[in-house]
Amino acid sequence: MTTTETATKPVRMQAATKTAGAKRSWRSTLVALLILAVMLFPVYWMISTALQPHSSIAATQLLPTSPSLENFRAAFDTQGGSLLTSLVVSLGAVAVCLALAAPAAYGLAQFGLRGSRGIVFGTLITQMVPGIVVANALYSAYAELGLVNSYAGLILADASLGLPFAIVLLRAFMVSIPSEVIEAAMVDGANRFTAFVRIVLPMSRNALITSGLFAFLFAWADFIFALTLNTTDDVKPVTLGIYQFIGAHVSDWGAVMATAVLSAIPAAILLVVAQKYIAAGISGGSIK
């Protein structure tokens, strides 16, 4: 009896600590889900309000008991054009941003040009320039150049939100490309530019995707340039649309929230599809 007890005791103890550990880790999961619920409550509230028709007349329910897409129809009717504008402007900004950043990052990483360090330093410093200060000066220049109320003007301005980040991130990646790889291609007769297009760009695919994603998110979220560089409704992204919406239709909160949901969709999609790029971008862009 005693022998069996001493023999089984350690085994039993081990099993006990194991279940205790598992229990504790599940308790952590529970705490994490609670944190998530608190942090994401505003997002839930936005979706819930958007799904409740007549939410302005009746009090908003905690749960949308009879959900309807009525508010979304209203949102599409009034803000559909703005969503399209946002999409066009953001894609344009991504194109400008990558077209400028990729060659520059390559040059700064690989050529050993004198002044490279200074340029990288200057790029970092641009982060401290407030958008409203840029807008303040840009407006008069845009007025002279006829760029106020134009797609080109807003695309160019929005590209500035993602460009410093893209240069820093791409350069950090391209520094790690061994120069032998590029030189080998050049021995085969490619010049610097074709080597860049055929070798460097494909190798930098992940860094390009990450900086493109962020350029898109920054441009999509832009409000200051949309507000200041447009005096008419010709070019009205959804951020500006929703801002004017709360000024004019503050009684129709259901439609406002439906617009908010629609304008948050790109962020949600990217979070699901490109989560690893986003995590890489946040840490990569800030530490460098």
Specify the residue for token string 């120069």.
179
Residues 259-288 interacting with another protein (rule: CB under 8 A): 260, 263-264, 267-268, 270-271, 275, 278-279, 282-283, 286-287
Yes or no: say if 184 and 54 are a contact pair by the CB < 8 Å rule.
no
Spatial separation of the C-alpha atoms in residues 8 and 234, rounded to whole Å? 80
Residues 161-190 interacting with another protein (rule: CB under 8 A): 163-164, 167
* Six-digit token string for 151: 């797609």
Tell me how far apart the terminal alpha carbons of the chain are, to the nearest angstrom: 65
- Cβ proximity to another protein: between 67 and 278 the closer is 278
Spatial separation of the C-alpha atoms in residues 74 and 128, rounded to whole Å? 39
- Cβ proximity to another protein: between 16 and 35 the closer is 35
Does 134 bind another protein (CB under 8 A)? Our answer is yes
Nearest distance from residue 157's CB to another protein, in Å?
Answer: 7
Q: What is the secondary structure of 170-230 as a DSSP string?
A: HHHHHTTS-HHHHHHHHHTT--HHHHIIIIIHHHTHHHHHHHHHHHHHHHHH--HHHHHS-
Question: Residue 199 corresponds to which amino acid?
Answer: I
- Cβ proximity to another protein: between 9 and 23 the closer is 23
Specify the residue for token string 């807003």.
154
- Cβ proximity to another protein: between 8 and 231 the closer is 231
Give long-range contacts, CB 8 A cutoff, 24+ apart: 43-47: 43/264, 46/257, 46/260, 46/261, 46/264, 47/257, 47/261
Nearest distance from residue 51's CB to another protein, in Å?
Answer: 14
Residues 206-245 interacting with another protein (rule: CB under 8 A): 217, 220-221, 223-224, 227-228, 239, 242-243
Spatial separation of the C-alpha atoms in residues 111 and 125, rounded to whole Å? 22
Among 13, 15, 20, 32, binds another protein (CB under 8 A): 32
Does 146 bind another protein (CB under 8 A)? Our answer is no
Does 31 bind another protein (CB under 8 A)? Our answer is yes
Nearest distance from residue 134's CB to another protein, in Å?
Answer: 4
Nearest distance from residue 128's CB to another protein, in Å?
Answer: 4
Among 14, 29, 179, 194, binds another protein (CB under 8 A): 29
